[in-house]
Structure 1
Amino acid sequence: MFRFGEPLYLYLLLVLPFLVAFYLYSNYRRRKKLRQYGDPVLMAHLMPAVSKYRPDVKFWLMWSALAMIIFMLARPQFGSKMETVKRQGVETVVALDISNSMLAQDVTPSRLEKSKKLISRLVETFNNDKVAMIVFAGEAFAQLPITSDYISAKMFLESISPSLIATQGTDIRGAIDLAMKSFTPNEGVGRAIVLITDGENHEGGAVEAAKAAAEKGVRVFVLGVGSPDGSPIPVEGTNEFRRDKDGNVVVTRLNEEMCREIAQAGNGMYVRVDNTNNAEKALNAEINKLAKADVETQVFTEFDEQFQVLAWLALLLLAAELMILNRKNPLFKNVKLFK
């Protein structure tokens, strides 16, 4: 595993674009002043020792050396040893509805995009916890096995879209059943299923599945995304809306009654997701109430410093910058490396 021991130093990289801009502006001012003295071609003949390209080469060498030094200060490291450690945490399986109805835009920017942002912020609050991710429509499959790798969890979010599942529909029961199989066998760990859907359940058994999960100590929280008033479903890549076989625009509505029934059966809580952060706050508060137990996690415990390579590169770049003169060296007048 790669990491930076002092990542705050990476903010110094923001200085580099300003250095480039300052250098380019200085060159512009210098050329402008030279033109005030006379014709540039004539001036070049009057100053035969002046190199056109050497100052640029020296600048970029110095600029690259500075970049290497900044990365060196951030202490790049590679993990060299993995150990199993125990930490206090909970296990959460997020089941995300990716049926076509989640493309509706009654929640900004859409039901699906709002849900993905909510999951991303939820993962950011985890500390020593484990998370798994399931996506479902007409069927369900595991997008991410249960893990403490929050970076991977957020990366997987980016690729989620309704095109991942060819079978359309909303099989909530299948999602809950698969979520139950995703937990680790550890005893005494607080467990939760976070079901994010618009509640348009086209299959049966969702309430029964939530009740069975609650009987095993797993709480089922339901986040209802959308509006009870409904919204048309956009066709991706077009300005059209989905229509039924009779040519009428299909309107999808949030089924809050179904969502409440599932949450009640699962000994959880139902929260409606709107354009505020209220749902996120309510969910975080409930998950924090879950019993925390020892969770085994594979982590890197030893890291080898890799700054030496960057230090040598910076040293070589600085040496090259010092060896290149601003003016042409008469000893090498026949060498055409720089004009």
Structure 2
Amino acid sequence: MFRFADPTYLYLLIILPFIVAFYLYSNFKRRKAIKKFGDPELMAQLMPDVSKYRPDVKFWLVLSALALTIVLIARPQFGTKLNKVKRSGVEVIIALDISNSMLAEDVTPSRLEKSKMLVSKLVDGFDQDKVGMIVFAGDAYTQLPITSDYISAKMFLETITPDLISRQGTAIGTAVDLATHSFTPQEGVGRAIVLITDGENHEDGALEAVKAAKKAGIIVHVLGVGSPDGAPIPVPGTNNFRKDRQGNVIVTRLNESMCKELAIAGKGIYARVDNSNTAQKALISEIDKMAKSDIESNAYSDFDEQFQGVAWIILLLLIADLLLLERKNPLFKNIKLFKI
């Protein structure tokens, strides 16, 4: 991928056509003035050392150097730059419920969008940690393998919708099991799974998966999203709500007791996600308490500066202009690089 870090400077390229027009006009006026003194062929014989083409070549060399200088100050950047870095941090995998019930609006703007905002702020607070993301409904999938690339993490977060998984349900056990096997094999690193769900219609095996994660040395924090009082589930793109087979509006409620049970089994905290930032603060506080260890990882910078190649071309153009004389060099008068 290619871009300019400061593309505003590229507007300076607009002056180049005016410079060319001025140069051509000056040449036209000069040739017209020479014609007043006599026949051009006779004048050429009277000035044998004057080259007709060298001034033009020098002009185009300087103009090219000017154009590339403008490109240079616009800071061309290309691709990504890979660096191996050592970080002192922890590993956190977010397991996010994206079932249809997460569209309920008992939390503003909705359970899912509030959860995504919370994860985004959590990632913003990471400095030397690794993060991964798993989404689940009736099944669970890895949305983002564990990484220290926070830019990619937030990019993948934005694409999360219930449409990613067609099978409905709340496969918490599958999600936790997948998260447990998604950490790096490095020893001595603090690891945590952050389970974000409303806990409704959860399938069997959730408690067993959390206990297995804890046995593997992984803390499981649970964030319950929504209200125990419940809310209807909007149908995207309409003003209607989801209904059951009898035509009654479905009301989805936060299963807070189940969420607390999972948090206790995982030796983590339980916090309810509402319209405040209480859950976010509690989670960050717990992650900060975790044992941090040196983690060697590949870190990608957005773009790598590409000014070196452009600078070398500019230098070569200016050297060529310096070495090229407007008049014929008497040392090379027999070499016909340019016609008179």
TM-score, length-scaled by structure 1: 0.69
The answer to whether the 8 A contact 2:140-2:174 is kept is: yes
SS at match of 2:221: strand
Residue pair 1:79, 1:300 contacting (<8 A) in 2 also: no
Count of matched residue pairs: 257
CA separation in 2, counterparts of 1:74 and 1:209? 53
Between the aligned partners of 1:158 and 1:132, the Cα distance in structure 2 is 14
Query: Is 2:164 the counterpart of 1:175?
Result: no
Between 297-306 and 163-172, report the one with greater CA deviation: 297-306
TM-score normalised to the size of structure 2?
0.69
1:164 is displaced (CA, Å) by 0.7
Runs (4+) off by over 6 Å: 1-4, 310-313
1:112-152, CA deviations, whole angstroms, 9 ceiling, x for partnerless residues?
Answer: 01111111111111112111100000000100111111111
Aligned to 1:230: 230
Q: Report the counterpart of residue 207 of structure 1 in structure 2.
A: 207
- Relative to structure 1, is the Cα distance of residues 201 and 265 closer, same or farther in structure 2, using a 3 angstrom cutoff? farther
The structure with the larger Rg is 2
Match of 1:250 in 2: 250
Q: 1:92 to 1:300 in 2, by over 3 A?
A: closer
Unaligned runs of 5+ in 1: 17-64, 314-339
Give the drift of 1:79.
6.8
Question: How much identity, in percent, do the aligned residues show?
Answer: 64
Counterparts of 1:161-200 in structure 2, within 5 Å, are 161-200=161-200
Once the 2 structures are TM-superposed, how far is the Cα of residue 160 of structure 1 from its aligned partner?
A: 0.8
Extract unaligned runs of 5+ from structure 2.
12-65, 315-340
Distance (Å, rounded) in 2 between the aligned partners of 1:173 and 1:120: 24
5 Å-filtered alignment, 1:1-339, equals: 75-78=75-78, 82-299=82-299, 303-306=304-307, 309=310
SS of aligned partner of 1:93: strand
Q: Secondary structure at the match of 2:289?
A: coil
Bigger shift: 72-81 or 240-249?
72-81
Please give the alpha-carbon distance, in whole angstroms, between the structure 2 residues aligned to 1:178 and 1:300. 26
Deviation of the 1:304 alpha carbon = 4.5
Aligned letter for 2:147?
T
Q: Is the 8 A contact 2:92 2:194 kept in 1?
A: yes
Q: Deviations 1:38-72 (Å, cap 9, x if unpaired)?
A: xxxxxxxxxxxxxxxxxxxxxxxxxxx9xx96x85
Distance 1:223 1:2, change over 3 A: farther
- SS in structure 2 at match of 1:196: strand
Question: Residue 80 of structure 1 contacts residue 304 of structure 1 at CA under 8 Å; is this kept in 2?
Answer: no
